[in-house]
Amino acid sequence: MTDTKLPTEFDVRPVTTVIGAEIHGVDLRAPLEPVVVAEIEKALLRWKVLFFRDQHITQDQQVAFARNFGELTPAHPVHAGLDGHPEIYSVEAKQLKVSKAQVTERPRYASPRSTQTGWHTDITFVPNPALGSILRGVVIPTHGGDTMWSNLVAAYEDLSAPIRDLIDRLQAVHRWHDYDGLPPRSDLDPDAPPPSAVHPVVRVHPVSGERALFVNPTFTRYVVGLNDRENRAVLDLLYAQMARPEFTVRFRWEPDSLVFWDNRATAHVGPIDLGREPLDRVVQRVTLVGDLPVGPDGFRSHALTGDLFR
């Protein structure tokens, strides 16, 4: 009979009081007992982003770990995965540097300052953004290349009641903008319009019931029904709110680090120091199939162009 007790070494160590915890006493090279999976899910729900250190795992083991928590998506809605691992999305620092310099379309109403930060929630340009993302450090520089995450529940709850009442009823259009330097998926029609979706500006978490901001300066284009001036005011307010330091945690990568975050309640940015000096940095990500976001008023996300991502 399977032992249902947690390993005595299992330990959740919060990094801040608002977001982020390190998980110790778990070896991700081996299959996980259901009780361990349940505790990791519980910690993820509470702390939004989990950090695992010194996990000397292979790509197969990263995929196996992720499958404990749901169905995996292909690597990316637009870009190709690795040969032999179509569910793994590999990102190199040199590719990120090219992409940020050659964005062909910026968020429609976001200020240039907001746009440059790179804050985003993964693949919100599809109607069912990922449930969660699991990112592994493959090649890590001796310094630089950190990633930051923001707790979008805390950011929402800090807003005044009148602003919360306003944004609870709003929806926004999210759309992909093409980056150069990353390999495209061979099965996509090059003449098709970029994928896009309309989402509630505030998302109700399907498990916790918490409300979270659900806009980001990378993929959100505009709020439906607002004029240009109103869009700039509302989105700049929300972008500044989500990036406030008191809602964030910063992670110093090491080789064989692995990070698991709840994509339904967080935004992230990284690395933020590209261009200062050359970085040799490679990270590889897998993502979990997500559901359709639902707003406080019952509005359910839907595609404008493209399909569900799974």
Cite the active site residues.
120, 122, 268, 285
Place of tokens 């709840």: 262
3-state SS class at 125: coil
d(CA 86, CA 38): 27
CA atoms within 13 A on the CB side of 168: 14
3-state SS class at 88: coil
Which amino acid would we find at residue 226? Answer: L
Burial call 213-248: b when 16+ CB within 10 Å, e when fewer = bbbbbbbbbbbeebeeeebbebbbebbebbbeeebb
Query: What are the tokens at 142?
Result: 């001796």
d(CA 175, CA 19): 28
Q: Which helix (H) or strand (E) holds 202?
A: strand 202-204
What contacts 135, CB < 8 A, 6 or more positions away?
Answer: 147, 258, 259, 261, 283, 284, 285
Strands 147-151, 248-251: pairing kind: antiparallel
What radius of gyration, in Å, describes the C-alpha atoms of the chain?
19
